[in-house]
Structures are given as C-alpha cells and as structure tokens.
Amino acid sequence: MSLKAGIVGLPNVGKSTLFNAITNSHVEAANYPFATIKPNTGVVIVPDERLDFLADAFKPERKINATFEFYDIAGLVRGASKGEGLGNQFLAAIRECDAICEVVRCFDSAEIVHVDNTVDPARDIETIDLELAMADLESVNNRIGKQEAKARLSKDKVAMYEMAILRPLKATLDEGKPARLCTELSEEQIAYAKKNFFLLTLKPIIYVANVADSDYMDLDNCKYYLQVKQIAESQGAQCIPVSCEIEFQISQMDSLEDRREFLDSIGASESGLDKLVKASYRLLNLSTFFTVGKDECRAWTFQTGMTAPECAGIIHTDFQKGFIKAEVYSYDDFRALGSELAVKEAGKLRMEGKEYRMHDGDCVFFRFNV
C-alpha cells in the first residue's frame, strides 16, 4: 500500500533538515533503504521489533520492512490560500497526501531568521491553520453554490444530505479553525466529507516540535515544546518532539551500532524519526501482517479491517482472485512458543476463510489457485 505523509511548515522551521535526515538515512541489511524516489519524496522503513525477532528465528535470506513515504512540501507563507509565495503549489501538494506532519519551530537561533522575526509556535500553527482553513472555505462555498438550490427547490436527497454537512463545516472554517475541529457532525458525516469534499483540514495531523539539541532531553523545561504539546492535546492530535539537527547527525552514521551508541549517549531509546514514522503509521489506521520463511521475512502494510483476500491482494492480485484460505497464527503466540512447530502442536495455527479480517501481527501463508 502506497501511503504518504506531507511534511509542512513555515520557512526556516527545520522542514528540509528533517527531510534530509529521512532521505540520507540507511538501515543495515534492508531491501528498502531510506531513499529518494522523487526529488521531494522519501521512502522510509517502518521500524518493527517483531519483524526483527522473526528474522532472528527464521534466518531468512532477506528481511523486508514495511515502508512509508514522506513528501517534502514547499514552505507556506501567510496568504498562501490566495496564491502568495508558492501557495497554489503548496495546497495542491497537500491534497495528494494522506496525512500531514506539521513541523513547528521550537528553538531560538540568531543565525536562522524566522519569517516573522520572532519564535512563537502558537502563532505559527495559527498561521497554517488559517491558510488551510481559508482554502477549504473556498471549496466548501463552491460546493454549497452547487447544492443549495438543489436541496431547497427540488429536495434532492444527496444535496440535502450534503448541505447538512456543509453548513457546520462552513461555520467552523469561517472562524479560521480546521474542519477536523467541527463538533456538530457525526462520524458518518465526517467520513462522507473526507471521501467526497477532499478538505485539507480534515486530513489527520501530527505536530512535529523541532527543539534545540540542548532541549531535547529536557522537554519539561522547553516552553516552546510545551506550547505545541498543549495545542495538539486540545485538538486530539499527537505531538512528536524531535531535534532535526540530531536526526540529521544520526542519518549520517553508517552502522546500526553507531546509531545505538549515539542514542544511548543522549539517553534516548529510539530516534525521533522512528517515533514519527510509527506515529504516522498509527495515524492512518494501518496495521502489519507478516509472511515468514527461509527465503524471506517480510512486513506488509494493510488498512485495519481488511479481509484475508484483500490482504492477499496486497502481495499479488492473483492471490486475491484465486484465494482459497489463509493459514494464520499470531506473532504473540510465536514469540511465546518459540517456533512454528510449537505453534502447530499447541493448536494455535488457524485456517481462515474469505470472511476473516486480518489482525495486526498475524503471520500468514495464503493458499490460492489461479
């Protein structure tokens, strides 16, 4: 599954440094190293300790992690919704993304000038919220212009249903607030809006607080980070603290051992980039199943709730067309019992049919006939 998170932010907030860390990173024995597949798109592996354990057990020729795309989007400036700067390009790029990672500057620097001359995370977030909300408001007003008469005059059912969604969205956007903060709509209405209206501010968001190196291990005393964290919590969003400079340093290290030693030296269990990748993965309601064996141990990404045939189709369309059954056991059972043989002897290997909905951590062998 190809899914993409857009990295957005004002100029000079650390966006490019973070993206450079993504595109310059390397992982040991990975079939999908961090790489740039387009000038502004980077592929990063999804760290998964479960896959590492399975690979240690099966000793395969190849270990292949799930992957995730990050898209580096041109810096936004005030007035982007009206075409200022690279506004139109910026907004079009966000529409192509499944989620937004908003980098917020949380450090002072005399060398790196802020576009507004002072560091103020709350103001920066408000600027981006306002520009995206204004772009969405234009879209909503255009939709209302098409549907309002149909709903009022001909009582068109689709138009009436949409108007019941568009009016509350317009009220929220008129206040300069993101559409995702609209409280008057049901989950069903929100899902309809996401599918049909393509609003920027309905996309799920993660705030990336780019802190100074000196603040990274003392976040409780970093006033800028605490501001971003509070805003994220008020919106029901996640806030991931990173030091983009530290991430770039880590990305320059060739060996996994050097990275671990560096992280240990700063008291971190994992890099901020790894945290961001995992958070982005969860944000899009993604799960992982595994295929294992002597040839290959591989993690596959699927949308939570997909059936076994749909997941088989992720590997190859023929697998879905000719699906017969899935032989499934859970990673947790494998870890507890130690081998496939022990899993079978314990009766933990299951035969599942077309109605089975895959679970995160399933180890599966698909049987099919074409």
Name the band, by pLDDT with cuts 50, 70 and 90, for residue 73: confident
- From the list 93, 71, 48, 52, the residue with the least C-alpha distance to 2 is 71
pLDDT, residue 226, reads 97
pLDDT at 313 over 70: yes
Q: Is 186 exposed, middle or buried (0-12, 13-18, 19+ CB in 10 A)?
A: exposed
Looking at residues 143-161, what average pLDDT do you find?
Answer: 93
202-221 confidence digits (pLDDT tens): 999 999 999 998 898 889 99
Overall average pLDDT of the 26-34 stretch? 39
Query: Which of 35-39, 70-74, 261-265 is predicted with the least confidence, judged by mean pLDDT?
Result: 35-39
Query: What pLDDT score does 189 carry?
Result: 96
Lowest mean per-residue pLDDT among 187-201, 223-237, 267-281 = 267-281
The pLDDT value recorded for residue 296 is 96
Residue 340, SS3? helix
Amino acid, res. 335: R
Structure confidence at residue 86 (pLDDT): 43
Between 235 and 26, residue with greater pLDDT: 235
* pLDDT confidence bin for 122, thresholds 50/70/90: very high
Structure token pair of residue 148: 């309002």
pLDDT value of position 366? 97
Residue 269 pLDDT > 90: no
Q: Which of 58, 26, 59 is nearest to 45 (CA)?
A: 26
The answer, yes or no, to whether residue 35 has pLDDT greater than 50, is: no
Look at residue 264 in the predicted model and tell me its pLDDT: 87
Q: Report the C-alpha gap between 55 and 38 in whole angstroms.
A: 30
Q: What is the mean pLDDT of the chain?
A: 87
pLDDT at 94 over 90: no
Mean pLDDT, residues 135-147: 93
User: Which band of pLDDT confidence, cut at 50, 70 and 90, is reported for residue 181?
Assistant: very high
Comparing 242-246, 255-259, 366-370, the range with the smallest average pLDDT is 255-259
Q: Answer for the pair 266, 217: CB distance below 8 angstroms, yes or no.
A: yes
Give tens-digit pLDDT for 104-121.
Answer: 999 988 887 777 778 999
Share of the chain above pLDDT 70, in %: 91
Contacts by 164-170, CB closer than 8 A, 24 or more apart? 164/189, 165/189, 165/192, 165/193, 165/197, 166/140, 166/197, 169/136, 169/140, 169/193, 169/197, 169/199, 170/137, 170/140, 170/141, 170/144
